[in-house]
Each structure stands twice: as C-alpha cells, then as structure tokens.
A and B are shown apart, each in its own frame.
Chain A
Amino acid sequence: MTQQLAQASIAQVVVPKGGIRHEIRAALVVWNREMIRFRRDLTRVISAVVQPLLFLFVLGGGLSSLVAAGTGGVDFKTFLFPGVLSMSVLFTAAFAGISMVWDREFGFLREMLVAPVSTAAILTGKCLGGASVATIQSVVVIALAGLVGVPYDPLMIAELLVLLFIMSFMITALGLVLASRVKQVQSAMPLVQMIITPLMFLSGALFPLSRLPGWLTIVTHLNPMTYAVEPVRAAVFDRLNMPAEARAILDPGIWWGSYQVPVPLQVGLVVVASLLLLLLSVKLFNRTE
C-alpha cells in the first residue's frame, strides 16, 4: 500500500544551482553531524574531560607544595587552570579534525566529497563542529573554577568560551591538515599525540614560558598555541586579586624582542592561523581525494 502511494506521487526534486546559501547549508549539515555524533558518544565526552582534571587536581595538587615558593603566593592549581582549560579543548579538537581519517576509512568522506558543494564548505563545517564540541566540553572544566579559586564572572566565562572556540577551530583545522596526509587509521592517534603534545608543552599552558631556556623561546614564539593560550590566561588572571610581582612571574606575556604582543593581536594571529590551516587542508583534500 505504501508502495502504491509512493508511486502515485513522485516528488521531483530540483537540485539548485550552487550559490552561497547552498554552501552554508552544506557546512551546517556537516556541523550538525558532528553534534549528533557527540550527543551519542558520552564515553568520548567523559574520557576527554578526565585527563584535564587529572592534570589540574593530581599534577597541580602534587606540584603546588613544591612550587609554592616560586608562585608569589598564588596556588599552583589556580595558575594551571587556564592551561588545563586549553588542554581540554586541544585534544578534543585535534581528534575532531583527525576523525576525517575514519570518515575516509568508512567511506563517508567520499559521500561528502562527491556532493555538488565545495570542499571548503565541508571542511568549514567540520571545523565548526570540532570547535563546538570542544567548547561544550570545556564547560565542565569551567564549572570547576570555584574549586581552584577562580571566581564565576559571567563576562570572564563568555570571554573564555569565545577564546576556546577560536582555539579549537584552529586545532581542528590542524587536525584536518594531518588527516589529509594520514591514510592509515592506526597511525592517526600516534600522530596526534606526536604533534599535539609538543604544541601543548611549548605553549605556556603548564608553566610560564619565561622559565624556558633561550633557544626554546624561538620555538614557543612560532607555536600558534602560545597565542591561543595567553589570551585565556589573561582573561582568568584579570579577574584574580594577584600581586603585581606574582602576575609578572606567572603571566609575563608574550614578547617579540622588546615589544609586548597585545592580547587582541594574539587573538588576531590565531584567527589568521586558523584560516591558513583551513585553506591548506582544503588544498590537500582537493588534491588527494
């Protein structure tokens, strides 16, 4: 019966001729897919949140007595908070980007790439998805702010969410660049570890960069994560009652020679890096598939 019904009224579909609205729809549906999969996969959410919490409370708690002398009276866990926040989005976002390797393995990448839309639209959707998922996860960490002496300032939380979104957009794009080169599922995760771990250690997320040996300074200044983490730290530290000396030790800022890079410029650099990585991934996916 249903078959006859269908026969009687074949909906003739007219596929529209491209255009920016079509591209946006395509990007949004790719984004939506990431959100659907995120909702279905609670294990991923939990496991992604556990690691930053270990860093904050176990590593931070263990080290706080050791380093107490050097932090100007500020709890080491408080210092660590913005770094752990960044870390929590870092891995989730990188995974969202590299998940394209699985999409390729299970064929879904092909379904996306043969559609009459641009690769840019699809990859933008993927980045928006990775950024959204990572930012939503970071809320769990933000919720713990009170436990490490950070106030629940609504404006600060809003700032943090925006900054973390931009940061994770960039990292998802980086993940996409990697995914375009990796054809084997088995090598995807080790590669993420290999790239993301140094990015994290050299970003100032876990300790002030001013303490590093000079030759590493060049590396940290080339690391885009440095410019993504520092605004997060500034947003948190601005809300703390911190002696000026302590702030100078814990948050020395980013210096190009004698020029202190202002926070808005840092955010700008991250946005530019995101777009460059996205463009690169579009180029690589267009070439390889």
Chain B
Amino acid sequence: MESSLPGGGADAAVEVHGLVKTFKSVEAVRGIDLLVRTGETFGFLGPNGAGKSTTIKILCTLADATSGSAKVAGFDVATERDAVRRSIGLVFQEPTLDGYLTAEQNLQFHGELYGVDKTTARQRRKEVLDMVGLYDRKDDLVQTFSGGMRRRLEIARGLLHSPKVLFLDEPTIGLDPQTRASIWQYIGELHKREEITVFVTTHYMDEAENCDRIAIIDQGKIVALDTPANLKAGIGEDRVQIATADDKAAIAALKDKFGLEAKMVEGLVTFSVAEGAAFVPQLFERLDIAIKSVAVTRPTLDDVFLNFTGTSLRDAEQKGSFNAMAARFRGR
C-alpha cells in the first residue's frame, strides 16, 4: 500500500491528504491519502457505507471536508470550487436526467450550464452520443429510455464538456450484467479517445478488475491500494480442485511427485500452486490416476477484500446496510 505519497505535482489528477469527514458523531471518512495519476482508471472499492460516496462528494465539491485537503485536476476543492467543477464530469448513482426532455435536450442543457460554445457543443454532442450508441435516439424523450440507456446518456453528458477527470459513482448499480459489461466497455474505450482520468467507485469486485489501480476502503480508511494483479498476487496462489478415481492415492501421488500438500475440500482434492493453469498439463502427464474433472480458481478481489478487512464484501454489505441508509439520508 502506498501510504507515503510523493509530492504530487502535475502528474496527479486527484491528490488527497489526510481527508476526514465527520457527520455529528459518525466518522464517515477517517483520514484518507490518495494519489490518482493522470490518465489512469482508478477504482474505489468498498461496501456501502464505507465512505466511498462521501469521499467522492468532497472531491466533486458537493461536500466540505472536516479536515484534510484535496486537489482535483490541480485545483483545490475547498478554495477553487468552480475551477474544479469545470474540470470534472460527474455520473452519480442516482439518475440526474430530465425525463421530459429528449436526450439531445439534456445534453444541450448541460452544454449551456457549462458554458460550452455553441458550435463546439453541437459537434461534441454528436461525438458523445455516438460513443454511447444513442445518436439515433437523440430526439426521443429520456423517460422512454431503459435504465442502461439512461446511464449511458449520463456518461455521455458527463463527457460533454471534455472534463479532465470523470467521476463515476457506482455507474453500473441496478443494471443487468450485460449492460454492466457494456458500460465498462465504454469506460475502457474512453482512454483511447480522450485524455481523461477516470475515478470510479464500485462495490462489485468483478468490475474493479477493469481498473488500472484500485483502493480498497473499509470503515472510512484505505486498507489497500495497488493494481488488481498485485493485490491478488499479494494474497497467494491459485487454487486447483480435482475429482479423481481414487482421491486418497491422488493426495499421496501429489505429495510424492510434486511435493504438494493436498486435502479434501467440498469432496474434491484441493491444493494451491503459483500458476494453476500451467500446472494442469503436467498434472495429466505425471499423475497416473484417472482425473474426472479439474477446476482452477484464481484468487479474486473478493479474497483480497477478505484478506484486508477480515470480512467478505457481502457480509460487510449486510452489516453496513443500516449505515448506508443513514448516509443516504444525510446526503440529502
């Protein structure tokens, strides 16, 4: 974990030092340090109520920090509010479109609010609508759009004024898996088209895999910060599970021939190796016992989360659900 930050400088899209936010007696954010590099997709991962949304609100100038400082695109969120707002695009968890306007009118509204000059705005509207595949629906009322289309439109709108940093707060919440995947595809393509830093919060582990680096936040503190691969590598090896004709003999053979300690888990011979996928061919070659099935599982970010917080994300979710509700009400 990068707890000591370098000086920051021009390279930093988001720079946070000792950020604390207290609501009456509750400490929602308890001292966060963060450095997001320009051009990366940075994931902010944690259960509901961990302080993700509060942090993002402070970074977007929607809430004041109790103490600590934060800079976005080089501007201080406390003292250079409008400069920060001009440099960021926002996509919230909750929808913020006007259903009584058409897709294009929603974008027009945004362009005017952000003072984008009219000629550029027209060209830019077409670009962003094309990017999210909604150009042919531009004249339809947003109230006729599905949840996925609305979210895509929100992303397009967040990009309309060419922000330096795009904040996506749970951009895929409440969407079906297919739409979730397509949203991430757009986020991935973004970097090819724009010079942009993406700061995304999520509580879906599988989605965090799409990020260049992720920070795991739990109970208001960052408990881990690295690339998904490093985080997973940090906690161990792949798990291999096999079903064989003779499990006992297989366990003995694994010990003799490969020096591996295997045991029975869930009725399967289970052991850990560094490179599970590369090991399997050797297994077939040298283990003289018939193998009926093989499963190789890579450590997931779920395991990472479990490792750093001592609880699985789902459990943390359930425990935190009351706090999350409270946080939502506070946020209003």
Q: B-contacting residues of A (Cβ < 8 Å)?
A: 2-3, 5-7, 9-18, 21-22, 25-26, 28-29, 32-33, 36-37, 40-41, 106-108, 110-112, 114-117, 183, 289
Contact = CB atoms under 8 A, between A and B. Distances in A.
Contacts of A108: 96-98
B194 A10 contact: yes
22 contacts: A6-B130, A6-B193, A11-B123, A11-B127, A13-B121, A14-B162, A15-B87, A15-B114, A15-B116, A17-B82, A26-B112, A29-B112, A32-B109, A106-B99, A107-B92, A107-B95, A110-B96, A111-B97, A115-B85, A115-B113, A116-B85, A116-B114
Nearest to B133: A3
Contact of A22 (B115, B194, B332): B115
Contacts of A117: 113, 115
Interface centre among B83, B86, B96, B115 (most CB of A within 10 A): B115
Interface stretch (B41-49, B100-108, B266-274, B316-324): B100-108
Given A41-B100, A183-B332, 10 more contacts: A6-B130, A6-B131, A7-B192, A13-B120, A14-B162, A37-B101, A111-B113, A112-B113, A115-B85, A116-B115
A11 B135 CA distance: 16
Contact of A7 (B94, B160, B193): B193
Contacts of A7: 192-193
B322 to A, nearest CB: 20
Given A11-B120, A37-B100, A114-B85, A29 B113 contact: yes
B113 A13 contact: no
B124 interface: yes
B17 interface: no
Contacts of B194: 10
A111 B112 contact: no
B183 interface: no
B186 to A, nearest CB: 11
A2 B135 CA distance: 10
Contacts of B96: 106-108, 110-111
B127 A6 contact: yes
Contacts of A114: 60-62, 85, 90
Contacts of B332: 183
B239 interface: no
Q: How large is the interface on B (under 10, 10 to 19, 20 to 34, 35 or more residues)?
A: 35 or more
A122 to B, nearest CB: 8
Interface of B: 60-62, 82-83, 85-87, 90, 92, 94-101, 105, 108-110, 112-117, 120-121, 123-124, 126-127, 130-131, 135, 160-162, 192-194, 332
B130 to A, nearest CB: 5
A18 B86 CA distance: 9
B102 to A, nearest CB: 9
Contact of A15 (B86, B90, B135): B86
A11 B61 CA distance: 26
Contacts of B92: 107, 110
Nearest to B136: A2
Contacts of B108: 29
Contacts of A21: 115
Contacts of A289: 62
Nearest to A25: B112
Nearest to A3: B130
B94 A107 contact: yes
A10 B127 contact: yes
B124 A11 contact: yes
B232 to A, nearest CB: 33
B120 A6 contact: no
A106 B116 CA distance: 25
Nearest to B128: A6
Given A36-B105, A183-B332, A107 B115 contact: no
Nearest to B88: A114
A106 B85 contact: no
A116 B81 CA distance: 8
Contacts of B60: 114
Contacts of A11: 120, 123-124, 127, 162
Nearest to A117: B113
B86 A116 contact: yes
A5 B135 CA distance: 13
A263 B150 CA distance: 51
B115 A40 contact: no
B108 to A, nearest CB: 7
A13 B98 contact: no
B212 to A, nearest CB: 21
Nearest 4 interchain pairs by C-beta: A29-B112, A107-B96, A116-B85, A13-B162
Contacts of B160: 13
B193 A10 contact: yes
A166 to B, nearest CB: 26
A48 B194 CA distance: 48
